[in-house]
Structure 1
Amino acid sequence: MQSTLAPQRVLVTGAAGFIGSHLCARLQELGAEVHGVSRHDRASDSACWWQTDLAEYPAAHQLMEEVRPDLVFHLAGEVNGSRELALFPSTTRNNLLSTVNLLTSACEIGGPRVVLSGSATEPKPDQIPTSPYAASKAAISIYARMFHACYGIPVVNLRPSMVYGPGQGDYEKLIPYVTRSLLRGAVPQLTSGVHEFDWVYVDDVVEAFIGAASTDDIAGESLDVGSGELVSVHSIVERIVRLVDGTTQPQFGEVPDRPRETSLLADVQRTRELLGWQARTSLDDGLATTVEWYRERHM
């Protein structure tokens, strides 16, 4: 992987988020000049922060004009796997429209390399999206290929699987929810636990993004970022229980399973061939580090 990004000027949208914050820290270690973007004001001693709503085209254009980045990581967006109809306006605005505005602005300033954060929930060509979020990500993937083919933007779309690790601030996600509940002595209320997912540690995901930014001849590609192994929700919860206290019995079946839930296994072979990347953190090691992070913070 890339050993330095100096003296590149790098723009990271969604920089205050879970993956974004880890990515910014890694970029700074590699010597990049990091410009973070969020919709809310934020101070930082180590990065230049911009408060911008990318769903507003004039704001996106002005940001790109002022920063003039060599490289863009676009992680901003709304992540919500619910099937609710009410999510269509917000996921269309905050995911699809913001990405189109960013890619359009990238064209107008000369075409920096853009690495998009897609999703493992994007359907295959013969499949139907299972949620408004998945539909928005599928549309983004199509736009990315179009911007590369028609306008020459060197854009790469990475599709992370179920990302976990220290600092995950969405406490409704499975691993933070179960870990925090157990540390507080509460009994987690869960779905049936039978569904299987591909779980990948956040530091490994960050390295995939760095690799996508520094690998030639992959523009226009969409690549999976995962472990290549399916593990059930039930197994994840059992492992966390053993790490926390080994005695609490979570309540499975108390929350309805989401309709049309599917197992999503990353195509790790293709990613390894094109990107030279593979996940290196085992599930047990990653969960142990994550649980210890929450334990140290009494969360």
Structure 2
Amino acid sequence: METIMVTGGAGFIGSALVRHIIGERHERVVNVDALTYAGQPDSLAELAGLSRYRFERGDVRDGRHMARLLAEYHPRAVMHLAAQTHVDRSITGPGVFVDTNVNGVASLLEASRQHWQTLSADERAHFRFLHVSTDEVYGALAPDAPPPDETAPMAPSSPYAASKAGGDHLVNAWHATYGLPTLLTRATNNYGPGQYPEKLIPLMILNALAGRSLPIYGDGGQSRDWLHVDDHVRALCQILDAGRPGASYNIAGGCESSNLAIVEALCDALEQQAGLSRAALRRLITHVPDRPGHDRRYSLDGRRMRDELGWRPHRAFDPGLEETVGWYLRHEQWCRRLIDPGARAGRA
């Protein structure tokens, strides 16, 4: 049985990926996570004791530790999701974003390259390094602009997006220079059960349940494309299996919506599922000063995923959002022990 190493596997997307591999595939998983503030090992408690699952606490910036883990577990693939991801945090403290999202990528790439070079010819041909990036590296889109495809230039606006773009360049350089068989993915905004409650959807749910204001940056007209996390991890596995080494793949949800429309839809869902007044909840919506460098619109052209790999999202947004609200209603205390949701503006 082959082994896949997943970095950042205690995070929102990473834990969904680990559960998907264990539940739907036949590989072992080694989950490597530094357990920073957003890492939640209890999201994988159901896997404890399974022979196909191992957890290793580790920081991708520690190249020697990564090399030891690669030598010990001998994975046939590294799926790199460990990253600092919250734009607001990158504005107030950019250094850790550069350190993790650039230096960490370089350390893991080099450890993986050295591991790859020790493999047999057949194993080298089979090995993959899959790096998960973001649509934000392309920068803001005009309201009527077509979504960027994988050939579009990068134009990041925030320290977060710039650090992810730096990591992307390193991945491409390790492929071009050393021949490391890399795969690079960029997805639109994820949502779904278990997301850390500083993000727009869970934050607004918690604030609404507490009767607090629902703060939205600016006029709330910032537009994002939304992708259910289950569709995202299914796409990642399809790229791992059939993607072309050295290629990049956009993973689009096909569900563009404004932040304000998302919050209003959450108010509707909370009326249906929690018995709260939709009108009263909408009166809690508060427009706060916009953050610096806030991109107005993100979206992606996902034709390469469709045409090359036959992938399309399965989860429609409206039922996916309703299901997500239901999960947070059932796990409210899980969220509240992670973060005080008061007075933070929702972002996406």
TM-score, normalization by structure 1: 0.91
Q: What percent identity do the matched residue pairs reach?
A: 28
2:145 corresponding residue in structure 1: none
Q: Show CA shifts across 1:1-57 (max 9, x none).
A: xxxxxx220101001000011110110011211110111495732320111111122
Taking structure 1 as reference, are residues 210 and 143 closer, same or farther at Cα in structure 2, changes over 3 Å only? Answer: same
| Distance change (3 Å), C-alpha of 1:149 and 1:84 | closer
CA distance in 2, matches of 1:260, 1:164: 20
* 2:230 alignment partner, SS class: helix
Aligned twin of 1:176: 202
Partner of 2:86, secondary structure, is coil
Instruction: Establish whether residue 38 from structure 1 lines up as the match of residue 33 from structure 2.
Output: yes
Task: Please name the residue that 2:262 is paired with.
Answer: 236
The number of residue pairs the alignment matches comes to 291
Contact 1:61/1:101, CA 8 A, preserved across alignment: no
Q: Are 1:286 and 2:320 an aligned pair? A: yes
Residues 7 and 14 of structure 2 are in contact (CA less than 8 Å); yes or no, is this contact kept in structure 1? yes
CA–CA distance in structure 2, aligned partners of residues 53 and 62 of structure 1: 12
Task: Mark the runs of 5 or more structure 2 residues left unpaired by the alignment.
Answer: 117-123, 140-151, 272-277, 334-348
The whole-number CA distance in structure 1 between the counterparts of 2:130 and 2:171 is: 10
Task: Summarize the Cα distance change of 1:61–1:294 in structure 2 as closer, same or farther, 3 Å threshold.
Answer: same
Match of 2:18 in 1: 24
> Cα offset for 1:196?
0.4
Tell me if the contact between 1:229 and 1:265 (Cα under 8 Å) persists in the aligned partners.
no
For residue 49 of structure 2, give the secondary structure of its aligned residue in structure 1.
Answer: coil
**CA distance in structure 2 between the aligned counterparts of 1:32 and 1:79, rounded to whole angstroms:** 27
Whether 2:200 is the aligned partner of 1:148: answer no
Distance in structure 2 (CA, Å) of the matches to 1:277 and 1:258? 35
Q: Which moved more, 1:143-152 or 1:288-297?
A: 143-152
Q: Which residue is 1:226 aligned to?
A: 252
The alignment's C-alpha RMSD in Å is 2.0
**1:189 and 1:255 in contact (8 A); partners too:** no
Amino acid of the structure 2 residue aligned with 1:90: V
The structural deviation recorded for 1:163 is 0.4
Tell me what 1:108 maps to.
114
- Name the SS of the counterpart of 2:135 in structure 1: coil
Query: Which residue of structure 1 aligns with residue 293 of structure 2?
Result: 259
Following superposition, the deviation at residue 123 of structure 1 comes to 2.4
Q: Check whether the contact 2:9–2:15 (CA below 8 A) recurs between aligned residues.
A: yes
Q: Quick check: 2:154–2:165 contact (8 Å CA) kept in 1?
A: no
Greater fraction helix: 2
Q: What amino acid is the match of 1:45?
A: G
